Amino acid sequence: MVKENPTPSRSKKPLITMKFGGTSVGNAERMKNVADIVADCSQRAEVAVVVSAMGGVTDMLIRAANEASQGDRENWKNVRKELAHRHREVADQLLQAAEQATVLPQLTAAITDFENLCSGFSLVREVTPRAMDTLSSLGELMSAHLVAAILRSRGTAAEAVDATELIVTDDHFGNATPYFDETNVKTVKRLAGIRRRGAIPVITGFRGATREGACTTLGRGGSDYSGTIVGAALDADEVWIWTDVDGVLTTDPRLVPEARILPEISYREAIELSFFGAKVLHPKTIQPVMKKKIPVWIKNSFNPTCPGTCIVPASTNTHKGVKAITSVSKADLITITAKESLSFAQLAAKAFASLSVDDTATLMVTQSSADNVLCFAVHDADLKRVKAQLEKTFELEMLHDDRVSIEVMPHVAIVVAIGENMEGTPGISGRMFASLGRHGINIIAIAQGSSELSISFAIKAPDVKEAVKAVHEEFKLQGAEKQ
Ligand code: ADP
Ligand code: ASP
Ligand code: MG
């Protein structure tokens, strides 16, 4: 697609898009730290910034909306107070009077929107997905205004930008998908003036808008995705995702505190890790930068001198075997069994067509063609919907002589070992399962993709921490880095 508007003549400096997550902008001290990082980097590079809401704010907004929609008229007023307090406190502590005069009305406008929406929800006892998106992303709007003003207060030109003016999405509220061509054109055009003025755009993460202008969100944790969408649109040289850990680690440090940093991982490994629950990256983060092969760095805003992890198109690391372990701790296994009158192909075709209605992700799939059994795992959050959909799909077969039965095994966790170079390395599954056996952990199901990028197994949810620890230890991932 040809870019419509002339891009501001690109300075010699590289262009870096930086996204800051909720903990990185969690209070006045953290926001000041963000401004320091951005101002420092802007000496050497042109910077575009994407910000999340202050930590905990999105949860607070969603909870308030749900309570209001259940008829509650009081709780959201407390949330309103807390929202106002947290954001105004930052303005009080870090902004000069002139900047306060600009920002306080912007914060007030967002809080008034919050108030009006919640009051409407409590009146009609309903919150539509569309209204929820407008409300749940107000935190991003407030933090973008604050971060831009903090930068200006310390002498760095910056302008807040609402991503509803940049990112064009479909109308799948709550989990919208961008139309990339339109987004790229709009982003370049909208940011051209700001860049020409030499100012840093500070863009709201998480938000986008439909072609008609209705606010959408990109899914929980979606500001990472916003970071790479903007980075790709601007042809950035690099995207930096600032978070609260030193990079992508060998596993979730909340499960195994000894997890260590991976200096480099490939796009494929990052996609696999994030799909299987590594919260450090939104699962769609890598998608926008794939074509342009833009490197994505994961860095710690609490420890900015640590280089972090570089996510590259293809890893140069030749380390054989398992590189990282991840897990999804809230999953369910669904087993569909058919009698002979339905072939396995028919059973699988109908089951997956049913899942495709809502584009539901399966975490693992196993089959026994001989017994006409199909088994797959889904996120617990999807279970109710998937089960209802499957029962509708197989309604006739279930009525007629129990030709099909659907069983659910709840409280399951999926643990996944990941590494591009596992391919052709024999004995990995054996070691993995032996280590689980030694810990007395029973494996319910196993799956390995033919790409050999990952091996997954299902276990009982309460065993997840011990299982991840056991496999992590078995492959000595906590030791010094082996290249
Ligand atoms: P942010 O608010 O910056 O977007 P998140 O909380 O979404 O941060 O993601 C960072 C968190 O992801 C870390 O604090 C860590 O607990 C968790 N995490 C899970 N798996 C991994 C992993 N493999 N490497 C690094 N962090 C991980
Ligand atoms: N604030 C949003 C959330 O909490 C988006 C993000 O932080 O990435 O889901
Ligand atoms: Mg996140």
Q: Is the pLDDT of residue 403 over 60?
A: yes
Distance 327 CA to ligand 2 centre (A): 20
**What does the alpha-carbon distance between residue 272 and residue 417 come to, in Å, rounded to a whole number?**
10
Pocket test for ligand 1, best of 243, 327, 469 (most atoms within 8 A of CB): 243
Distance 222 CA to ligand 2 centre (A): 6
| Residue nearest ligand 2's atom 6 by CA | 221
Pocket test for ligand 2, best of 19, 49, 52 (most atoms within 8 A of CB): 52
Q: Is the pLDDT of residue 138 over 90?
A: yes
Query: Which one, of 228, 270, 254, lies nearest residue 19 by Cα?
Result: 228
Atom number of ligand 2 nearest to Cα 139: 1
List helix spans (H) across 223-299. Answer: 223-233, 267-275
Query: Which one, of 404, 402, 407, 403, lies nearest residue 383 by Cα?
Result: 407
Could you give the angle at the alpha carbon of 251 between the alpha carbons of 27 and 412, nearest 5°? Answer: 100
**What does the alpha-carbon distance between residue 297 and residue 193 come to, in Å, rounded to a whole number?**
27
Distance 56 CA to ligand 2 centre (A): 9
Atom number of ligand 2 nearest to Cα 225: 8
Side by side, the strands of the sheet bearing 215-217 are 168-169, 207-210, 215-217
Q: Is the pLDDT of residue 6 over 70?
A: no
Average pLDDT of the chain?
93
Place of tokens 């601007």: 234
Long-range contacts of 6-9 (CB under 8 A, 24+ apart): 6/192, 7/188, 7/192, 7/235, 8/192, 8/195, 8/196
The string of pLDDT tens digits covering residues 284-312 is 999 999 999 999 999 999 999 999 999 99
Atom number of ligand 2 nearest to Cα 59: 4
**What does the alpha-carbon distance between residue 217 and residue 210 come to, in Å, rounded to a whole number?**
10
Atom number of ligand 2 nearest to Cα 21: 7
The string of pLDDT tens digits covering residues 219-259 is 999 999 999 999 999 999 999 999 999 999 999 999 999 99
pLDDT value for 52: 98
Categorise residue 424: left if φ over 0, alpha if ψ from -120 to 50, beta otherwise.
left
The string of pLDDT tens digits covering residues 305-319 is 999 999 999 977 667
Contact residues of ligand 2, CB 6 A cut-off: 21-22, 52-53, 58, 139, 205-206, 220-224
The whole-number average pLDDT for the span 47-58 is 98
The string of pLDDT tens digits covering residues 115-125 is 999 999 999 99
